């Protein structure tokens, strides 16, 4: 959770960012010969991650990251704000709230803005992207982008990824496709993207559903639309929410005695996600723990640890909810967002089927 000093630091950075952005735009637009008034307008929110990291030096500040890619000015007038500067393994739900609220504020205040790009580390990018997919209230594109290689090594992929993300954000037919992730020239839906490799630049995959499209050299091309509800079609209103409900993930394994589920029950969380085996099958210990949680009126969502395929049929334990094809870490995000309104406890099955 952000401390008061951290919050003040972020507020100060935002104020400094405004001045820096104006100077950046004046200098770079004069160099490139572009008229910024006639360019599509994009706001880039930076949060850190590998795309800003350096091997033996502090991470790049937001403006330095953008200035390293002057080709951006060939496609858009760019405004930059630094929301955070941290590795994505240290991203918190409090930072999700900051990013989501800021995106909604920016869109509400600027009807001429083409889209928003968020730079982010790849470790938890899919959770942040899916959270935004549920709470952003605009049909204009929001694109998350990062890199698999640090900014100061040979063949760093961050500059190219950032350029393609801005291109996607300025493309008219990117509207109403939900929040997207752009890496390695591929466009993935925030809901469907999985990080599948610890090293390779082609890390994100959409498993059974496939990518949305490509940022090719000559054009941005889409092949499909997301099938689940998102952004302006979402029922979730979180701009006034100060914190998200506590929802842990318990992991099943051979010989599991259910102890971690029972420990969580004692803390009375808002809900629990249990990552089970393929198809939602589970050990007897997990089943015992889940039944105890349901008896204690704690919502339980059953997810599968297998990347491909959905959980079919009906729950094997009455009173639980199936995550279908959502992995446990995204099922947790949806359950947290849904439970900000306690009345949604009665319709969780419908929510998980729609989102």
Would you please indicate which residues are annotated as catalytic (active-site) residues? 50
β-bridge mates for residue 107, sequence order = none
Q: Among residues 328, 352, 308, which one has the least CA distance to residue 126? A: 328
Q: Among residues 178, 145, 180, which one has the least CA distance to residue 164? A: 145
Question: For residues 152 and 85, is the Cβ–Cβ distance under 8 A?
Answer: no
CB-based burial label for 136 (10 Å; 0-12, 13-18, 19+)? buried
Ordered alpha helix ranges (H), the chain: 4-32, 62-67, 93-109, 125-135, 158-169, 259-267, 284-295, 328-338, 348-354
Q: Tokens 């940022």 map to which residue?
A: 215
Question: For residues 210 and 231, is the Cβ–Cβ distance under 8 A?
Answer: no
Count the Cβ atoms, other than its own, within 10 Å of residue 310.
15
């Amino acid at each position: 959770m952000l401390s008061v000093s951290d919050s003040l630091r972020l507020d100060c950075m935002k104020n400094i960012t405004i001045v820096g952005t104006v100077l950046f735009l004046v200098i770079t637009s004069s160099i490139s010969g572009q008229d910024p008034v006639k360019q599509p307008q994009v706001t880039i929110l930076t949060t850190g991650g590998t795309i800003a990291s350096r091997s033996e030096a502090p991470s790049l500040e937001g403006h330095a990251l953008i200035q390293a890619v002057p080709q951006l000015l060939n496609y858009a007038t760019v405004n930059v704000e630094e929301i955070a500067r941290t590795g994505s393994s240290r991203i918190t739900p409090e930072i999700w709230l900051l990013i989501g609220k800021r995106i909604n504020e920016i869109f509400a205040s600027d009807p001429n803005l083409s889209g928003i790009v968020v730079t982010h580390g790849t470790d938890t990018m899919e959770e942040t992207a899916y959270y935004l997919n549920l709470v952003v209230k605009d049909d204009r594109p929001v694109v998350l982008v990062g890199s698999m290689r640090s900014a100061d090594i040979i063949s760093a992929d961050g500059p190219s990824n950032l350029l393609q993300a801005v291109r996607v954000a300025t493309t008219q037919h990117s509207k109403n496709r939900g929040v997207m992730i752009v890496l390695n020239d591929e466009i993935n839906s925030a809901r469907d993207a999985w990080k599948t490799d610890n090293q390779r630049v082609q890390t994100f995959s959409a498993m059974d559903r496939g990518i949305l499209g490509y940022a090719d050299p000559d054009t941005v091309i889409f092949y499909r639309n997301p099938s689940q509800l998102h952004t302006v079609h979402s029922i979730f209103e979180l701009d006034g929410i100060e914190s998200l409900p506590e929802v842990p993930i318990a992991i099943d394994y051979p010989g599991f005695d259910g102890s971690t589920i029972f420990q969580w029950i004692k803390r009375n969380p808002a809900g629990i996600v249990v990552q089970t085996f393929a198809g939602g099958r589970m050990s007897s210990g997990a089943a015992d723990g889940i039944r105890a949680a349901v008896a204690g009126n704690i919502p339980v969502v059953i997810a599968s640890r297998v990347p491909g395929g959905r959980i079919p049929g009906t729950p094997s334990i009455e009173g639980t909810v199936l995550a279908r094809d959502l992995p446990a870490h995204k099922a947790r995000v949806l359950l947290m967002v849904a439970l900000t309104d306690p009345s949604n406890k009665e319709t969780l099955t419908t929510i998980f089927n729609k989102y």
